[in-house]
Structure 1
């Protein structure tokens, strides 16, 4: 029997039907653990990764011929009793981004932008020659606990609950199970960070939903209408709001766009396609990106199934609200090392058609997409909200492995070292500015480029905001790029 899976990879749905056709994915019979062996989680992880993982062919322990019999397979699974250690052991050694979660429900919620948060988004920097670190506020989410407190962009903190932050304790202090913590604030004096007596108490709120559109406004710069969009995560649940923002840009007569993704770690592939369409074109015959899967999966798709064209409507198959597009052939993008996955995808997908002026830093270099896998073998491990009752009740683990890469219409996909800027400009801790204000350094530099002005502004950077970690990367969603499009595939 073959199963035709209509996959909406990521968070959406798929359906299953049967057919007598002879073509489909030939998935060799996988081994089964010995009855009674306590390897439920490891067995799920191995079988799901053996089928879907992008580098399945490069990981010897995921080979279809790795085990001579079921007993040998069971011994292998039992050798690593900790599920997290086991999952890490079957990943490709160059895989920087696949991850797991011992609670798939939390994972799924975070893919929708729902999390436990106090609304403070920040970067962390290590003091030179020390294990101590400090944080600086990048932005505060509206309607959050932090938005009601005396804390704002540019503020510095060094302590949590009276303890100096360092490499060893920052995860437990800032990202642990504690719902409340008190930040010890600091200030910059002559290039030196000095503690102050000020403290700010923050509380994490359950089921907080982030609106990724932080700033959306049309600037009047020397008579030119310039749209400015600060977009901080690709979330499908906010596609209509994103389209409405572009409707306002169109109504305002905007002829230029500054797309600010400096803090955007990624998200939905489909949302990136819709954003690209809002920027450039609603021509549904024009190719945006093409997927590449592992050898088991790739050959089973038709060219049309692998290709994502620009969109004319918000819904699947170009249905739903018509897309509001600026029809631009040039766009100014603010992007840094905090910009990853779907952010880079927009830049790469537009590159064959649009002159992209990238201002900031080299991006992170994440060009693979992922899907959500759970212990539902009859659904071939793809998470489906309609099959919740089919998921193994004895296994709550969820996986978010990389399963493919996207290439643009020119066939380019190799940017694992990141996308370099046309104009290098780091953020300055001593002059972060106000987001959306025309004097904020990165925005001001983009405006200068639009106006063709020989600027008298000083864009020198005194204290580079060079982070090693940000608050967004410590959520279950991290810098994930997940595929959420309908695909039909056969699995024998």
Structure 2
């Protein structure tokens, strides 16, 4: 019998050759989470064949596996330090949570606890220890949106304590912190000086609409569309399609797609977005998946089309995609552009002219799924004794030509953001958008001679990387399985 299950809530175990299959439940209660971790990773982990402790013949019986698992009283220790492939170097993206409800809210709905002030952290010029923060944008409806803080503001301390490489996690990202006060500063060439101002912020549960700005500009005979899109959150697919309807109805001739702060998300949504930009390639290969050896062999022999993500002309529910049929697109990028953002660049490259402006992207070419402790690793029937779930990397995404860039995509036109002059997002004078308009209207790839770049050092981290989802790319299309 054939049936279909969503990948991110997955699956049944197909491989009878696995020595300890999910049906063997003869294990002590105190290691039920560890048992789930090992069996889930053995089945689906992208690097399963490269991890000795995940080999199909590693344990001859459930009893032998139990003995191994009993050495790990903490599930995180087993997951990160023993079973992941060279964490955090080769695999720095798989993760595990003890509260899958919070994971689902952020992954599927875009709901998270946040102050709403999205920021980056940067080492101070010439310092090996001190760091400062700068506000990238403020989420509408958040606590920050009601406070006196805006894009371009600089902060050098939290609750009066100077930020350093050693303390920023505790001061800004600790799970025990629900509010804090940012001590503001003047830029001062990358060595911020306190200006006596501060702002207190509180984290609240909000849903971020990733469609941040949609607008058009008439410049030198061009009708230029602009879309700032900050996350591939599938619950907003219809709103994304509506944004493209607006651009289409305006009759745009060119598009600037702003993914500079977009850390990724749904592969399906990335496919929709790319189909909206184009429209002339429906049914053709957008990207192709590469799974671990067991799954790859199964798909190639039984269902090779399952490995393909094709351009489409409808979104789930049947709504027609509003396509622009463009042969050129300009995409704005930074190191905060990751996973599904990079998938759009990579997937479109073989088909149309993609010009990227900004700085190098992160370099995340792999995708994950959510695994629950249930008989088929799906959400239904999840073990009621706990709320642990895994988000392991399960596949690599490649474009039509079998290519990706594991180190990130270098920009066509390098143009770093000026932290001393970030500008107002969506206005033609905002430096990156202005540079894109110059390219569209003149074809020039040279940076303006009067531009002063306040980009002293590479960003250390940013607020989005410290959410449950981070720069995750996940698959959420249906998977063909056989009982």
For the aligned pair, the TM-score class normalised by the smaller chain equals over 0.9
User: CA–CA distance in 2 between the matches of 1:337 and 1:369?
Assistant: 18
What is the RMSD computed on CA atoms of the aligned residues?
2.0
1:399 aligns with 2:386: no
Residue aligning to 2:197: 198
Runs of 4+ in 1 over 6 A off after TM superposition: none
Deviation at 1:172, TM superposition (A): 2.1
Residue aligning to 2:481: 489
Preserved contact between residue 275 and residue 282 of structure 2 (Cα < 8 Å)? no
Deviation at 1:279, TM superposition (A): 0.2
Residue aligning to 1:409: 400
Q: Alignment partner of 1:39: what SS?
A: helix
In the alignment, structure 1 segments of 5+ residues that lack a partner are 17-22
Deviates more, 1:97-106 or 1:42-51: 97-106
Residue aligning to 1:20: none
Residue aligning to 1:442: 432
Preserved contact between residue 33 and residue 39 of structure 1 (Cα < 8 Å)? no
User: CA–CA distance in 1 between the matches of 2:19 and 2:189?
Assistant: 66
Residue aligning to 2:91: 95
1:53 to 42, 45, 63: 45
Deviation at 1:37, TM superposition (A): 6.0
1:362 aligns with 2:354: no
Residue aligning to 1:231: 229
2:318 to 317, 320, 323: 320
Deviation at 1:69, TM superposition (A): 3.5
Deviation at 1:240, TM superposition (A): 0.7
In the alignment, structure 2 segments of 5+ residues that lack a partner are none
Mark the CA change 1:453 to 1:37 in structure 2 (over 3 Å): closer, same or farther.
Answer: closer
Q: Deviations over 1:437-480 (max 9, x none)?
A: 11111111111111116675623413346211110010001000
Residue aligning to 1:19: none
Q: Deviations over 1:213-249 (max 9, x none)?
A: 1111011112311011111100001111111111111
Preserved contact between residue 19 and residue 59 of structure 2 (Cα < 8 Å)? no
The TM-score with structure 2 as length reference comes to 0.93
Deviation at 1:490, TM superposition (A): 2.7
User: CA–CA distance in 2 between the matches of 1:456 and 1:83?
Assistant: 53
Deviation at 1:484, TM superposition (A): 0.6
User: CA–CA distance in 2 between the matches of 1:458 and 1:27?
Assistant: 65
Preserved contact between residue 19 and residue 57 of structure 2 (Cα < 8 Å)? no
Residue aligning to 1:242: 240
The TM-score with structure 1 as length reference comes to 0.91
User: CA–CA distance in 2 between the matches of 1:205 and 1:132?
Assistant: 28
Q: Alignment partner of 2:323: what SS?
A: coil
- 1:245-260 alignment runs, 5 A limit: 245-260=243-258
